[in-house]
Amino acid sequence: MKSTITIDVELDNGRTPETISWSATDSTMESARKAKAMMLSFWDGADKTSLRIDLWTKEMMVDEMGDFFYQSLMSMADTFDRATRQTEIVNDMKKSAQEFYKKFQESQIKENKV
């Protein structure tokens, strides 16, 4: 069995993403889904390095970026839990993500008051 995930990125003249859309062959979606940002990571076992593609469109707002990172950090903690069952480390990861989000929200409040 094989599944193909397709990611389309339209760039402006300055090579900044204008639109990001994705689809998967085994999805129930009838058409591609739009996204304002994406983070894609691969593990290169031979070189023992993480290879990443991080993109966001001009439409991605700062508050959305904070939400996106918080949810991504929490999801990575859940994935690490399923892979390792290292509950104490997972709890630390989630606590760190929650602290990040609290500080982010506080900074947004300060910026909006100015």
Across 64-73, average pLDDT: 98
* Predicted local distance difference test score (pLDDT) of residue 114: 58
DSSP state for residue 32 in the 8-state scheme = P
Amino acid at 15: R
Phi then psi dihedrals of residue 11, to 5 deg: -110, 150
Spell out the residues 6+ positions from residue 12 whose beta carbon is closer than 8 angstroms to its own. 18, 58
Strands 17-24 and 49-56: unpaired
For the stretch 2-40, pLDDT in tens is 899 999 999 999 999 999 999 999 888 888 999 999 999
Write down the domain spans for the chain: 1-59, 61-107
For the stretch 88-108, pLDDT in tens is 999 999 999 999 999 999 999
